Amino acid sequence: MRKSVSVSGGADSTALALLMWERGEDFELIFADTGAEFPENYYIITRLQATIQKPLHVVSGGGFYQWLIKKNYMLPGPRKRWCTRILKQQPIDHFLASFDEEIEVCQGIRADEPRRVRGISRPGYKNLYNSYPLVNAGMDKKDVFELCKKYDLLNPVYTWRSNVSCFCCFFQRKSDWLGLLKYHPELFKLAEQWEKQSYLMGKKKGLQRVFGWNQSYTLERLRLAEQSMADLFEIKEVQT
């Protein structure tokens, strides 16, 4: 059966590809480019392919900004999570389903996250079947990170962020947003501008309540608060 490994630049999918490569298995890589990726993700995926020498397919359902415009700046959120389905799941599934053969879709799910295991069959796709090599190998988060470090393929984003999802992911923590402000200020400002536009479009539609990336604070408020804190503790040189 043909095998495909979906990679994102994250530790789980990278370790999955490395594990199967070490075992001498035959498989292909597939990457769904959302248009809201960290530069580091492209770096890791490129180096991963160069290391294991497997075919890489890059698919897209249209960029994040393209869909944001189509949806009149309606930001994705827990109740309207359109981003994962449109930008990740559909492009990969449609590409793999186009082949006239059965495909084992190897999922980067670890042994310490059993709730994410969805079963073997994939509803709606007769030729696609899930498998969970990391689960079967008993690999947890520590094992995954160690395998990535073994080949110097641990995404540097992990030094300041909890995951490598889209830079504007609404699921990220406040510390992740602050990390984005520090390490990729241009991407933070872009997400901030999209949020401002979302509020503006919501008011034009007469909506009573408009949500941003987070219900507790706006990115502008977070940025200004962080700047005020930095100014407060700034050590100024004494003039002599």
Closest CA to 108 of 46, 29, 50: 29
CATH number of the structural domain 2-159: 3.40.50.620
52-66, 88-102, 191-205: the lowest-pLDDT one: 191-205
Note the pLDDT of residue 123.
80
Each residue of 56-78: b (16+ CB within 10 Å) or e? Answer: beebebeebeebbeebebbbbbe
Q: 236 versus 136: which is more confidently predicted?
A: 136
Q: 70 versus 123: which is more confidently predicted?
A: 70
Closest CA to 220 of 182, 191, 198: 191
Asked if residue 51 has pLDDT above 50, the reply is yes
pLDDT band, residue 231 (cuts 50/70/90): low
Q: 200 versus 37: which is more confidently predicted?
A: 37
- Which H or E run includes 103? strand 103-106
Asked if residue 38 has pLDDT above 80, the reply is yes
Span 109-156, pLDDT tens digits: 999 998 999 889 888 899 999 999 999 999 999 999 999 999 999 999
Asked if residue 238 has pLDDT above 50, the reply is no
Q: Where are the alpha helices (DSSP H) in the chain?
A: 11-22, 39-52, 64-70, 82-84, 90-97, 133-136, 141-150, 174-183, 185-204, 219-232
> Hunting for tokens 């509803």 — which residue is that?
123
| Separation CA 15–CA 200 (nearest Å) | 42
For residue 30, count other CB atoms closer than 10 A to its CB: 19
Q: What percent of the chain is predicted at pLDDT more than 90?
A: 81
Mean pLDDT of 85-106: 95
pLDDT band, residue 216 (cuts 50/70/90): confident
| Separation CA 156–CA 66 (nearest Å) | 28
Note the pLDDT of residue 80.
86
The tokens describing 210, both together, are: 């408009």
- Which H or E run includes 109? none
Instruction: Say if residues 166 and 32 touch (Cβ distance below 8 Å).
Output: no
Rounded to whole angstroms, what are the CA distances from 136 to 23, 140, 180, 199, 239? 14, 11, 35, 46, 65
pLDDT band, residue 229 (cuts 50/70/90): confident
| Separation CA 129–CA 121 (nearest Å) | 5
- Domain-by-domain residue ranges, the chain? 2-159, 174-232
Taking the C-alpha atoms of 207, 209, 214 and 216 in order, what is their torsion angle to the nearest 10 degrees?
160
Average pLDDT of every residue of the chain? 92
81-85, 138-142, 193-197, 233-237: the lowest-pLDDT one: 233-237
| Separation CA 229–CA 211 (nearest Å) | 26
